[in-house]
Amino acid sequence: MSEYKLHCFCQSGNAYKCALMLNCAGADWEPVFVDFMNGATRDAAWRASVNEMGEVPMLEHAGERLSQSGVILHYLADQLGKYGGESESERREIWRWILWDNHKFTSFFASYRFRRSFAPSAEPAVMDFLKDRIDAAFAIADKRLAQTPFVVADRPTIADFSMIGYLFYPTEETGYDLTTTHPNIAAWVARMQALDGWQDPYDLMPGQRIAPRSS
């Protein structure tokens, strides 16, 4: 039995943040498939037994049951001794970027991708609203990554794993070709892809790949 169990499915970039960190850290872990696309997380029994918030990821370890990717990443950094901050100042900076990611960077991008590729339809005004906010957040990240190889330091931290969760999904799902639109983000993605243990989200987590509705 693996030391860590991560409840996840392959389309979830939030789950991928944690799966990728576990893999790159060389942890003894296994995925537990959650059939999100067929409504598993809306089931009252699932919420009662797995996560009352009705979301993945959820991590099981040593009697702990943790949800929310930022909390899980922080916990894993402490448990595994990898990808955390090396000083109080650096730890605060990591959390600054994780909170910004959850509020703006991942938040708008994940919503845009889901509506574009997997929702039954996408209201143009909503998509325009989301894209404007994606572009504003991506401009901030692209400027930051012109100055430093990783988000906080000269090495990857949990801030990088948090922010990059959705950026390895294909352009036909996201609508963004980062090499063209945001070259510094694209270069950072390539640096993270070069880490030992990196795997594509569709290879790392269970579930059936679904052709995007917009393709």
Say whether both 126 and 76 belong to one domain.
no
CB 60 within 8 A of CB 4: yes
Average pLDDT, the chain: 97
Which pLDDT belongs to residue 1?
Answer: 87
Residue that finishes a domain, picked among 27, 50, 83: 83
pLDDT band, residue 174 (cuts 50/70/90): very high
Rounded Cα–Cα distance for residues 72 and 75 (Å)? 5
In this structure, is residue 67 part of a structural domain? yes
Query: In angstroms, rounded to a whole number, what is the distance separating the alpha carbons of residues 79 and 64?
Result: 12
Model confidence over 113-164: pLDDT tens digits?
A: 999 999 998 899 999 999 999 999 999 999 999 999 999 999 999 999 999 9
Q: Are residues 157 and 108 in the same domain?
A: yes
55-to-69, 100, 214 alpha-carbon distances in Å: 10, 20, 25
Q: pTM value?
A: 0.96
pLDDT tens per residue across span 69-103: 999 999 999 999 999 999 999 999 999 999 999 99
**pLDDT value of position 33:** 98
- pLDDT score at 214: 61
Gyration radius of the chain's alpha carbons: 17
210 within domain boundaries = no
Range of the domain at 70: 4-83
